[in-house]
Structure 1
Amino acid sequence: MPEVPEMEIYKNYLNQWVKGKEISELNILRAKSINLELSEFRAKVQGKRIKEIRRRGKYLIFDFEEGDFLLTHMMLDGRLFLLQLDSETLKKTDSPKAEDLQSVIMGSSAEELKNIVKDLPGRASVIFGLSGGLILFFCNLTLGYLHYLDQVHLDTKLQELGKDPLDPDFNSRDFSKLLKGKRGMIKPWLMNPKNISGVGNAYSNEALFSAGILPTRGVSTLDDAEKENLFDSLVRIIRDSIRLGGDMEEPFAAWDDFTGGYNPYFKVYDRTGKPCLVCGEDIQKSEVGGRNAFFCPHCQK
């Protein structure tokens, strides 16, 4: 599942390529991925210009110049893909003109698109035809979604979220206060979006390893130094992952060789049975709070 680093990278790419573009066409291939009737969603979105893309936790928020918003959550398998209708793209198709290819894409089914756009990172759910010869695909929104919201409903949705780990006004003292008096194990607490928004399985495992804390440790057993170390580890790892490309294997566009660059740097996540990079002990896996926990039994206490 994409977490803070992956969604931050998406946000940065979208602001680079999509910000300021008009949504000129829509192809909605999975009605369950949106929150309105098809005709109403189309009337609300088509013709709108994207003012900015923001991130909060694992959410992306598309701000429209005309007001109102699109809120998207990738959930487990959701992915974005940008197609540029340029000369390099056209060399790989039978369509002689960019406008012809866009028309074909905007009128195709999800099955047909598999053969038309070879690089798609999954089954297309919603497609935006954008001004300037760009097409943005929202893929695999089986559990994820793309919702049109006004300010009131957006605020209500975001109020459910805890602090974002990259919020400049959020620090280790605030983090320690959040943990005070809490019960349960630390890993599920970190992954609860009502506590900290945007932290999932991968980066909770990595932060706990870096801080030397077992994922099964009770929150109430952590001392002040451990809390501060855990917060600092979490923020540092998230920032490192953003800098290096995050964890997703699927690129944002055909030219994208940056996305996924952090994968070789994981120290415990998905490394069951491999030697700890610090002490050499085998990395172990167990189920904690319904999710896989990866840890070193020697380095974490």
Structure 2
Amino acid sequence: MPEVPEMEIYKNYLNQWVKDKKINCANVYRAKSVNLESKEFCTTVIGKQIKGILRQGKYLIFQLDDGHFLLTHMMLDGRLFLMTIESETPQENGVSKAIALQSEILQSDAEDLKQRFKDLPGKASVVFGLSDGSVLFFCNLTLGYLHYLGQEQLETKLRELGKDPLDPNFSAQNFAQLLEGKRGMIKPWLMNPKNISGVGNAYSNEALFSAGILPTRLISTISHLEKVNLFNSLVNCIRESIRLGGDMEEPFASWDDFIGGYNAYFKAYDRAGKSCLVCGETIRKSEVGGRNAFFCPHCQR
């Protein structure tokens, strides 16, 4: 599941390639992925300009020029893919050729698209044709969604979220205060979006490993200094993953060789049975709060 680093990378790509473009055409291939009737959704978003893209936790927020927003959550399998002019049409053909191809694409069905474009990271759920001739695919939104919301609706939805770990106004001291008086194990608490938004299985495992804290450790036994260390470990891990490309395997576009660059740098997550890179002990896996926990029994206490 994409977490803060992967969604931040998506946000950066979208602001580079999609910002200020208009939605020329749209098609909904999976009706349950949107919050309006499919035709109404398309009619509503067509002609709107994308003024910018924000991120809050695992959510991406497309700001539209009509004062509304498109809120998307990838959930487990959702992915984005951008088909640019350069990737599909020779430069000399220009935007007009791309627009013609764009129209053809949006009239195809989802299975045809999947067969025709091998780079697509899954089955198209919603597709936008943009004013420069590029095509933005929202794929595999089986559990995820793309909702058209007003300001009040958006604020209500985001009000459910805890602090974003990259919020400049959120400090290690704030984090430690949030944990005061809390019960239960630390890993499930970290993954609860009402506590901290955008942290999932991968980066909770990595942060706990880096901080030397077992995922099963009771919050009540964690000292103030350990809480501060855990926050710093979490933020550092997230920032390093963003710098290196995150851990998704599917590229954002055919030219994208950046996404997925962090895969080789995980120290605990998904390394069960392998040697700890710090002490040489075998990394173990157990189930904590219904999710897999990866840890070193020597380095974490």
TM-score of the aligned structures, taking structure 2 as reference length: 0.97
| Distance in 2 (alpha carbons) for counterparts of 1:69 and 1:99 | 25
| Distance in 1 (alpha carbons) for counterparts of 2:100 and 2:50 | 24
User: How does 1:1-301 map onto structure 2 within 5 Å?
Assistant: 1-86=1-86, 88-90=87-89, 97-301=97-301
For 2:197, what is the secondary structure of its paired residue?
coil
| Distance in 1 (alpha carbons) for counterparts of 2:212 and 2:15 | 37
Query: Could you tell me the percent identity over the aligned residues?
Result: 73
For 1:82, what is the secondary structure of its paired residue?
strand
For 1:27, what is the secondary structure of its paired residue?
strand
| Distance in 1 (alpha carbons) for counterparts of 2:47 and 2:148 | 14
Task: Indicate conservation of the 8 Å contact 2:27/2:42, yes or no.
Answer: no
Which residue type is aligned with residue 173 of structure 2?
R
Which residue type is aligned with residue 289 of structure 1?
G
Residue 15 of structure 1: how far off its partner (Å): 0.1
Q: Structure 1's 195 and 4: CA in aligned 2 closer, same or farther, altered over 3 A?
A: same
Which residue type is aligned with residue 193 of structure 1?
P
| Distance in 2 (alpha carbons) for counterparts of 1:143 and 1:184 | 28
Give structure 1 regions of 4+ aligned residues with deviation exceeding 6 angstroms: none
For 1:70, what is the secondary structure of its paired residue?
strand
Residue 243 of structure 1: how far off its partner (Å): 0.4
Task: Indicate conservation of the 8 Å contact 2:5/2:239, yes or no.
Answer: yes
For 2:208, what is the secondary structure of its paired residue?
helix
RMSD: 1.1
| Distance in 2 (alpha carbons) for counterparts of 1:287 and 1:176 | 25
Which residue type is aligned with residue 90 of structure 1?
T
Residue 10 of structure 1: how far off its partner (Å): 0.0
Residue 100 of structure 1: how far off its partner (Å): 3.0
Range moving further from structure 2, 224-233 or 32-41 = 32-41
The gaps in structure 1 that reach 5 residues or longer are none
| Distance in 2 (alpha carbons) for counterparts of 1:18 and 1:98 | 15
Alignment: residue pair count: 296
| Distance in 2 (alpha carbons) for counterparts of 1:99 and 1:265 | 40
Task: Indicate conservation of the 8 Å contact 2:98/2:134, yes or no.
Answer: no
Which residue type is aligned with residue 129 of structure 2?
G
Which residue type is aligned with residue 14 of structure 1?
L
Which residue type is aligned with residue 234 of structure 1?
L
TM-score of the aligned structures, taking structure 1 as reference length: 0.97
For 1:297, what is the secondary structure of its paired residue?
coil
The gaps in structure 2 that reach 5 residues or longer are 91-95
| Distance in 2 (alpha carbons) for counterparts of 1:102 and 1:41 | 19
| Distance in 1 (alpha carbons) for counterparts of 2:220 and 2:109 | 53
Task: Indicate conservation of the 8 Å contact 2:127/2:138, yes or no.
Answer: yes
Residue 102 of structure 1: how far off its partner (Å): 1.2
| Distance in 2 (alpha carbons) for counterparts of 1:103 and 1:172 | 50
Superposed CA deviations along residues 154-181 of structure 1, whole A, max 9, x for unmatched, are 0000000000000000000000010000
Superposed CA deviations along residues 1-26 of structure 1, whole A, max 9, x for unmatched, are 00000000000000000000000100
Residue 104 of structure 1: how far off its partner (Å): 1.5
